[in-house]
């Protein structure tokens, strides 16, 4: 099972990446990913391709199993050489969902999540936007390969790294010198008269618990 690291550079690499995103975030359940993944794999593939192409800060690093050629894990790194929040937080509406409670929850969650970055990450920095490994390939050094790429960029450019971590990711980030500086609970406003909304919120397991973590550029590598 030799592993190979790649930096995504062509449109044709997105179907393999999106397929791995769906596998990688399926376990453990992640309510925020349920919002982001959209209604179908095809739609998700096209949207992630469009987002990447429109964003000059975006770098997708992925790992394949050389025997099967399948993508088994990936990270999206965003390199911000200037403060990206000098004009406030960006707004993203969840246009990929049809009108209804799920779209409303997604819009609220995205707004809350992005505004959280505005005050905490308001400096030139590197951001880990996505980080996952196929459940069948965990603890084999897949995410380590993509992490090393980002740590090297951080050292080269003199930029701190930030991430919003899930509970599951925390131990991995700590192994690479990240420290929690704040805990968060992301929630949406419940409309008690709307049962469908309340049920959907419950199914997505809101409030979502996570940690703001930082790896200062001066941190020595742990490997």
Ligand X SMILES: CC(C)(COP(=O)(O)OP(=O)(O)OC[C@H]1O[C@@H](n2cnc3c(N)ncnc32)[C@H](O)[C@@H]1OP(=O)(O)O)[C@@H](O)C(=O)NCCC(=O)NCCS
Number of chain residues interacting with ligand X (CB under 6 A):
21
**The one segment of 49-57, 81-89, 160-168, 177-185 that binds ligand X by CB under 6 A:** 160-168
Which of 110, 127, 131, 186 is the binder for ligand X (CB under 6 A)?
Answer: 131
CB of 194 to ligand X, least distance (A): 30
Q: Is the dihedral of CA 82, 179, 176, 139 positive or negative?
A: negative
Q: Is the dihedral of CA 169, 187, 100, 106 positive or negative?
A: negative
CA distance 17 to 23: 10
Which of 7, 29, 175, 194 is the binder for ligand X (CB under 6 A)?
Answer: 175
| CA-wise closest residue to 211 among 178, 177, 176, 175 | 178
Q: Is the dihedral of CA 136, 142, 146, 151 positive or negative?
A: positive
User: Facing residues of 3 across strands?
Assistant: 65
* Residue 171 near ligand X by CB under 6 A: yes
Q: Interface residues for ligand X in 16-75 (CB under 6 A)?
A: 24-25, 73
User: Is residue 166 a contact partner of residue 180, using CB atoms and an 8 Å limit?
Assistant: no
Which of 107, 133, 154, 200 is the binder for ligand X (CB under 6 A)?
Answer: 133
User: Judged by CB, which is closer to ligand X: 16, or 24?
Assistant: 24
User: Judged by CB, which is closer to ligand X: 81, or 168?
Assistant: 168
User: Is residue 72 a contact partner of residue 63, using CB atoms and an 8 Å limit?
Assistant: yes
CB of 74 to ligand X, least distance (A): 9
C-beta neighbour count of 40 within 10 angstroms: 10
User: Judged by CB, which is closer to ligand X: 108, or 133?
Assistant: 133
The residues that touch ligand X, with contacts defined as CB under 6 A, are 24-25, 73, 131-133, 138-144, 163, 165-166, 168-169, 171-172, 175
């Amino acid at each position: 099972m030799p592993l190979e690291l790649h930096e995504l550079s062509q449109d044709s690499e997105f179907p393999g990446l999106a397929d791995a995103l769906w596998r990688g975030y399926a376990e453990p359940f992640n309510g925020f990913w349920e919002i982001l993944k959209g209604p179908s794999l095809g739609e998700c593939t096209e949207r992630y391709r469009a987002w990447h192409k429109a964003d000059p800060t975006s770098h997708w690093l992925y790992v394949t199993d050389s025997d099967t050629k399948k993508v088994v894990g990936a990270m999206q790194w965003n390199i911000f050489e200037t403060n990206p929040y000098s004009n406030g937080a960006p707004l993203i509406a969840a246009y990929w969902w049809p009108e209804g409670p799920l779209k409303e929850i997604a819009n609220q969650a995205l707004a809350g999540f992005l505004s959280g970055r505005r005050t905490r990450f308001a400096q030139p920095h590197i951001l880990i936007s996505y980080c996952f490994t196929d459940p069948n390939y965990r603890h084999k050094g897949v995410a380590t390969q993509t992490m090393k790429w980002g740590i090297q960029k951080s050292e080269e450019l003199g930029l701190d790294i930030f991430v919003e971590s899930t509970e599951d990711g925390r131990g991995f980030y700590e192994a690479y010198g990240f420290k929690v500086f704040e805990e968060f609970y992301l929630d949406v406003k419940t409309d008690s008269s709307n049962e469908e909304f309340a049920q959907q919120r419950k199914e997505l397991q809101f409030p979502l618990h996570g940690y703001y973590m930082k790896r200062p550029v001066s941190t020595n590598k742990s490997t």
